[in-house]
Amino acid sequence: MCCPGVLRCALLILMSLCTLRQNGNGVGALYTSNDMSMQSLGDNRAGASSDNGSGTKGANGELSRSSRTICRSFPGLTRKQLQQCRRAPDVVASAISGIRISVDECGNQMRDQRWNCSNIRTKNGNPYTSVMMSRGFRETAFAYATISAGVLYQVTRACSMGQLRTCGCDTSFAGDGVDFEWGGCSHDIQFGTSFVETFLDIKERGRDMQSKMNLHNNGVGRIAVAEYAVKKCKCHGMSGSCEVKTCWMQTPHFSEVGDRLLVKFREAKQVVARNSIGGNLRLADDPTPASTDGQRRRRRKRQPVPPKDHLVFLEDSPDFCQADPGLGSLGTRDRYCNRTSDGPEGCDSMCCGRGYNIKLERKTEWCNCKFHWCCQVKCRQCSQSVWVNSCK
């Protein structure tokens, strides 16, 4: 009897907490209902079918209104992408929202690194117009994969919430499982995947090494979402007893996708441009010195193609210590660092040996959050002074 209400509250609390966490620096605005990335926290359609409160319908109308202008308002689309946008503006609108959440996730994953994704947060909103995206660095690889993953994620979610004309749920999950029935809305990851394949891969001509690298890394991003879909279940019956259990497949949470891609960033492999046109990407020779005999043998041997789920890069990264617009480096001046850490966020590494300043800063945070029945979380703003270090 009370369950739907309780569930809904739980969801709202979760959403509020997430909002607070995302805007953890305290200055951010609270959740606004036409923000697509927040809507996507809403669960699948089955779970939300009795829920008129989330404003999905209103947002839908808004989406179709704004979609007419969306193709023109997002700069830097290629001719073919524009064609696709005119054909399916609603899908492209959620793709653009996917690009936005992936730039956020990129910054979140790289917050401790000298390069922290801030230069793909371009003024025009299209990260592909950043100089970083036309380089062949490990960081470039990470950015391509993250954006491709974000677009797949967001398009798939929008499909499952009934926001798009041309897609919906994956109906191939049907019938009975071992102790459950397939029900609700399984995410149509195939639709999302083929959309991303055309929409993003179409940018790359695929002949030069650079675009081969980009295509490969786009694929790594798709895999990081598609191959980690998870089964979610819901119990039905008197007061939560699990007489009937329905399950559906859904994409993993996007922060998990980001975590996975960060691991791949660390394990990225260098590839070489041996015969630049027509040749496949090949792994670069292993730089570790071997016995001269082995080395000679390795050199003669053809290097293997990189695995499909490994990020690849072409050039060694700069150290990102100094600002260099041509390299897409903003430098680390004024970056916060941790005096006592010897990780990448430590002042030694972050400031590249230039030293750091210590200053007292006032920080404002949300605090004393209280849950009000039902369903609001109210917080106060607290501020305190803290010592911070920033690079010279």
Residue ranges binding ligand NAG (CB under 6 A): 50, 52, 107, 111, 116, 118, 330-332, 335, 338, 340-341
Pick the closer one to ligand NAG by CB: 152 or 321: 321
Q: Computed from CA positions of residues 111, 12, 101, 200, in that sequence, does the dihedral angle turn out positive or negative?
A: positive
Q: How far is the CB of 62 from ligand NAG (least distance, A)?
A: 16
Q: How far is the CB of 330 from ligand NAG (least distance, A)?
A: 4
Q: Say what angle helices 89-109 and 138-160 make with each other, to 10 degrees.
A: 130
Pick the closer one to ligand NAG by CB: 196 or 330: 330
Tokens 């064609």 correspond to 83
Pick the closer one to ligand NAG by CB: 182 or 320: 320
The span from the CA of 104 to the CA of 23, in Å, is 12
Cβ atoms of residues 102 and 149 within 8 Å = yes
- Cα 128 to the chain's mean position, in Å? 15
Pick the closer one to ligand NAG by CB: 285 or 334: 334
**Nearest one of 228, 230, 290 to 263, comparing CA atoms:** 228
Strands 312-313 and 244-250: unpaired
Q: How far is the CB of 6 from ligand NAG (least distance, A)?
A: 16
Pick the closer one to ligand NAG by CB: 92 or 330: 330
- Cα 88 to the chain's mean position, in Å? 22
Return the biggest CA–CA distance within the chain. 76
Q: Which two tokens stand for residue 86?
A: 């005119």
Pick the closer one to ligand NAG by CB: 118 or 255: 118
Pick the closer one to ligand NAG by CB: 292 or 340: 340
Q: How far is the CB of 336 from ligand NAG (least distance, A)?
A: 7
Pick the closer one to ligand NAG by CB: 59 or 233: 59
Strands 181-182 and 244-250: parallel
Residue-wise burial string across 210-240, b where 16 or more C-beta atoms lie within 10 A, e elsewhere: bebbbbbbbbbbbbbbbeebeebebeeeeee
**Nearest one of 121, 312, 115 to 212, comparing CA atoms:** 312
Q: How far is the CB of 354 from ligand NAG (least distance, A)?
A: 13
Pick the closer one to ligand NAG by CB: 247 or 347: 347
The span from the CA of 124 to the CA of 130, in Å, is 10
Q: Computed from CA positions of residues 121, 127, 131, 136, in that sequence, does the dihedral angle turn out positive or negative?
A: positive
The span from the CA of 389 to the CA of 392, in Å, is 9
